[in-house]
């Protein structure tokens, strides 16, 4: 959820909150006026798929195609529109029964005057697992009710999704540039150096950049990951100490996100009171979404750390190549060890998608690197 919009100044329409996606925004402004039954949003990690889908849902529901100032837009942007359903996945992959539940909801008549919108995120995960569920999703897309629109997202488009892609209008996103992120953070009041550091560590993700720019320990965490090669001296206790330090640092890194989420919830509470409501609608759903965002942020933080660690080993690799040119035997060893270390870090990073225990994952990595 993103209760605070990602835009500068006053909105002219809801799409002003989307930064760095000019081509996609141009397309969505047109599609909001003449929608079809299904859209597939694709883009790399950090491209803001979730925020874009939320924004597009507001434009679809709004009588003025996303004015940004009406109650319909406010509810949709706050993910409080009862006619916009976010399908839930309980495991690593989508299960057939979960997609059938999404289809059941898609056949409801909208309560308001807009559409019944069903959002299914990470649809590439319908092609994985013991029982791939892509066929169940395809069935939903083939005969949707007239007032239903499916909004799908995918960070990856495997070949198995070809038929599903053919049933949708595809809208492609790109990662935000570091320059875009830095400029946005500075215009939002951030100190230039802090904005630069956060932009470099955000992997094109504005939400993450907005969290990191509040994080006074960000530079310290970068240094912490980069010093790992020098701290692994061959003792298992060294590895255990490093894992404990890294886990504690990640715990602390989530604190600014939790503060932002609390501010957003307080804003929703205040808005509810202004409207004469006793409490925030769907508060449990909002809090559940906050927990999912925290989990995603934790994974992103680990990936960020692995990138910093990889860069440290690449520097050692470069140093080793220089030593090899000088006929130094030590250089050959350093080159080989650095290449193996980079491969080990990459393999561990891929395992993050499997919901493996974080502590065990880090411990195994440290022990592997210790042997190199």
Domain coordinates of the chain in residue numbers? 14-172, 177-214, 218-370
pLDDT of res. 1: 41
CATH tag, 14-172: 3.40.50.300
| Alpha-carbon torsion (64, 70, 72, 77), positive or negative | positive
User: What per-residue confidence (pLDDT) applies to 355?
Assistant: 72
Residue 67 CA to residue 39 CA, distance in Å, equals 21
Instruction: Please give the pLDDT value at position 88.
Output: 85
Q: How far apart are CA 153 and CA 121, in angstroms?
A: 5
* Global confidence as pTM: 0.63
Rounded CA separation 242/249 (Å): 10
Q: Which two tokens stand for residue 198?
A: 């956060």
pLDDT at 3: 39
Task: Please identify every stretch of the chain with a pLDDT value under 70, giving residue numbers as ranges.
Answer: 1-11, 46, 281-282, 327
Give the pLDDT of residue 6.
42
């Amino acid at each position: 959820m993103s209760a605070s919009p990602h835009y500068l100044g006053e909105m002219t329409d809801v799409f002003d909150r989307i930064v760095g996606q000019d081509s996609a925004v141009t397309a969505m402004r047109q599609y909001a006026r003449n929608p079809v039954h299904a859209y597939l949003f694709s883009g790399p990690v950090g491209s803001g798929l979730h925020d874009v889908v939320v924004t597009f849902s507001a434009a679809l529901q709004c009588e003025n195609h996303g004015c940004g100032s009406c109650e319909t837009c406010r509810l949709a942007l706050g993910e409080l529109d009862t006619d916009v359903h976010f399908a839930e996945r309980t495991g690593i992959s989508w299960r057939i029964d979960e997609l059938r539940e999404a289809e059941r909801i898609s056949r409801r008549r909208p309560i308001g005057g807009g559409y019944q919108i069903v959002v299914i995120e990470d649809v590439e995960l319908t092609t994985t697992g013991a029982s791939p569920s892509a066929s169940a999703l395809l069935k939903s897309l083939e005969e949707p009710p007239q007032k239903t629109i499916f909004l799908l997202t995918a960070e990856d488009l495997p070949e198995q999704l070809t038929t599903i892609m053919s049933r949708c209008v595809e809208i492609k996103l790109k990662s935000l540039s570091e320059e875009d992120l830095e400029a946005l953070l500075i215009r939002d009041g951030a100190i230039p150096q802090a904005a630069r550091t956060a932009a470099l560590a955000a992997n094109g993700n504005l939400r993450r950049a907005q969290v990191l720019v509040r994080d006074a320990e960000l530079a310290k965490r970068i240094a912490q990951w980069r010093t790992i090669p020098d701290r692994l001296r061959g003792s298992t206790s060294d590895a255990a100490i490093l894992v404990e330090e890294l886990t504690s640092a990640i715990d602390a890194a989530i604190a600014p996100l939790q503060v932002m989420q609390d501010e957003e919830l307080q804003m929703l509470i205040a808005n509810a009171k202004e409207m004469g409501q006793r409490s925030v609608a769907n508060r449990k759903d909002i809090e559940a979404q906050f927990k999912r965002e925290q989990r995603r942020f934790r994974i992103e933080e680990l990936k960020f750390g692995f990138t910093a660690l990889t860069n440290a080993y690449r520097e050692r690799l470069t140093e080793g190549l220089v030593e090899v040119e000088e006929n130094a035997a030590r250089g050959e060893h350093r080159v080989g060890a650095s290449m193996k270390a980079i491969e080990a870090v990459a393999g561990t990073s891929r395992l993050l998608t499997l919901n493996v225990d974080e502590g065990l994952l880090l411990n195994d990595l440290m022990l592997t690197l210790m042997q190199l």
